[in-house]
């Protein structure tokens, strides 16, 4: 991660991803085009081209010594093993070239990485946000015939070789519907830029949590393909990448981690570290990943039977205004870390407790004016639940799950 806000932009062939890239560039983003970089790293005279020729033979060269792209495509298209060999040559070089390019960009910039195969190559975790440009198969086929003179069978084969829309929606923080008029696409991009991207970048620069509604509300899980669990796992992947070996565990906790339970639309995530000094050393990396640390001292309320008046932790929150996140950094195997996981697993297993907690949530939403009041009003219920949780753990032999 760098001080730039990194946007991964993708979409299926013919969806209009390049048009959206230009719209974002017009609003101040710096676009790094992976297709352009892929051409550069296997241009004549590069070691990349030499390796491609060594792997696939001189038949992939044209008379001028440059890569004959149609000849290479004929060799690798429809052959997953050949395509994997080509990707192993090209992709590391493209990544290195992109990193070199980003290193020259001013801190605080918005960098849009135009990556056609972002989903296929599992690159979502490299970016603060993933934007997917979508359009129906019919519209994409029409565009490919009109703009690239591609016949239907060739276009359909290219589309079938890419991820489908379900896979793209699974990782999409933002979905741009590019099936309508140009004006409709411009309006969507402008809305995303002004309401999400620009404030996100500013919040990261300032080390500030995104604003949230002050009044409490509980909602149901949005459902597949991008339910709370999917969103949480994507964020945890980004955090694992940012924190490296200092992160000893990473879990989705809280109400949004319990299937069927209503919750505030705020994801609670937990990182386990060796000690709080390790948590402090992680602070800058988490900030750059989009999770600035909140100032002050933070702790969990200790429960009966566990020593210490409070359980200290470090607390971060998401700078992204479109996805509220509470990030709890606790000592792995410490009491607060274990409580969070035990509470989650108990609620998952005990339908009666889950229903009881859901009723309490709805009652408190009606009574409480602020989220702070709501959180404080729930605390006695946790104290009441604690002995039941411990009894369930003893009866089932519960142990914390692996990281």
48 annotated ligand binder: no
301 annotated ligand binder: no
Which pLDDT tens digits describe the chain residue by residue (403 residues)? 457 899 999 999 999 999 999 999 999 999 999 999 999 999 999 999 999 999 999 999 999 999 998 889 888 877 889 988 999 999 999 999 999 999 899 888 999 999 999 999 999 999 999 999 999 999 999 999 999 999 999 889 889 888 999 999 999 999 999 999 999 999 999 999 999 999 999 999 999 999 999 999 999 999 999 999 999 999 999 999 999 999 999 999 999 999 999 999 999 999 999 999 999 999 999 999 999 999 999 999 888 766 666 799 999 999 999 999 999 999 999 999 999 999 999 999 999 999 999 999 999 999 999 999 999 999 999 989 999 999 999 999 999 998 7
- CA-nearest of 223, 6, 169, 201 to 101 is 6
What tokens appear for 290 in the block?
């989009």
194 annotated ligand binder: no
Entry pTM: 0.92
16 annotated ligand binder: yes
The reported pLDDT for the residue numbered 210 is: 97
Sign (positive/negative) of CA torsion 117, 119, 121, 123? Answer: positive
Domain annotation for the chain: domains and CATH numbers: 5-206 (3.40.50.300), 228-396 (3.30.460.10)
**DSSP calls for 119-131:** TTTT-GGGSSEEE
List own/partner pairs for 299-308 with CB under 8 A and 24 or more apart. Answer: 299/336, 300/330, 300/336, 300/339, 301/379, 301/382, 302/335, 303/335, 303/339, 303/382, 303/383, 303/386, 304/383, 304/386, 304/387, 305/390, 306/335, 308/335
The DSSP output letter for 16 is: -
Residue spans of beta strands (DSSP E) within 135-197: 174-177
Sign (positive/negative) of CA torsion 292, 297, 302, 308? Answer: positive
The reported pLDDT for the residue numbered 336 is: 94
The reported pLDDT for the residue numbered 76 is: 85
163 annotated ligand binder: no
The reported pLDDT for the residue numbered 1 is: 46
Please state at what angle helix 47-56 crosses helix 69-76, rounded to 10 degrees: 50
The reported pLDDT for the residue numbered 119 is: 95
The reported pLDDT for the residue numbered 126 is: 94
108 annotated ligand binder: no
């Amino acid at each position: 991660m760098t001080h730039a806000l990194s946007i991964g932009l993708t979409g299926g062939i013919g969806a209009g991803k390049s048009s959206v890239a230009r719209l974002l560039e017009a609003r101040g983003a710096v676009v790094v085009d992976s297709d352009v970089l892929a051409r550069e790293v296997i241009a004549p005279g590069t070691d990349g081209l030499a390796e491609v020729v060594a792997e696939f033979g001189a038949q992939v060269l044209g008379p001028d010594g440059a890569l004959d792209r149609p000849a290479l495509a004929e060799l690798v298209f429809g052959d997953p093993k050949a395509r994997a060999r080509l990707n192993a040559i090209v992709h590391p070089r493209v990544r290195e070239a992109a990193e070199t390019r980003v290193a020259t960009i001013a801190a605080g910039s918005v960098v849009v990485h135009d990556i056609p195969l972002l989903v296929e190559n599992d690159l979502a975790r490299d970016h603060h946000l993933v934007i997917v440009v979508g359009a129906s198969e019919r519209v994409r086929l029409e565009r490919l015939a009109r703009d690239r003179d591609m016949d239907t069978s060739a276009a359909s084969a290219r589309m079938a070789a890419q991820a489908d829309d379900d896979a793209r929606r699974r990782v999409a923080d933002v979905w741009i519907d590019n099936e309508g008029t140009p004006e409709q696409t411009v309006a969507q991009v402008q809305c995303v830029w002004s309401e999400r991207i620009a404030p996100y970048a500013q919040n990261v620069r300032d080390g500030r949590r995104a604003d949230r509604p002050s009044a409490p509300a509980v909602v149901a899980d949005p459902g597949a393909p991008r339910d709370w669990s999917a969103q949480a796992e994507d964020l945890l992947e980004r955090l694992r990448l940012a924190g490296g070996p200092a992160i000893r565990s990473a879990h989705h906790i809280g109400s949004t981690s319990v299937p069927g339970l209503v919750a505030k639309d705020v994801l609670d995530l937990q990182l386990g570290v060796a000690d709080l000094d390790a948590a402090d050393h992680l602070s800058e990396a988490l900030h750059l990943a989009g999770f600035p640390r909140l100032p002050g001292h933070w702790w969990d309320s200790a429960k009966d039977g566990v020593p210490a008046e409070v359980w200290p932790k470090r607390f971060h929150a998401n700078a992204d205004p479109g996805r509220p996140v509470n990030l709890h950094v606790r000592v792995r195997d410490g009491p607060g870390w274990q409580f969070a996981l035990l509470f989650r697993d108990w609620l998952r297993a005990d339908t009666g407790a889950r229903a009881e907690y859901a009723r309490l949530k709805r009652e408190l939403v009606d009574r409480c004016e602020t989220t702070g009041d709501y959180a404080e009003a729930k605390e006695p219920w946790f104290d009441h639940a604690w002995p039941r949780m411990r009894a369930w753990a003893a009866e089932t032999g519960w142990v914390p799950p692996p990281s």
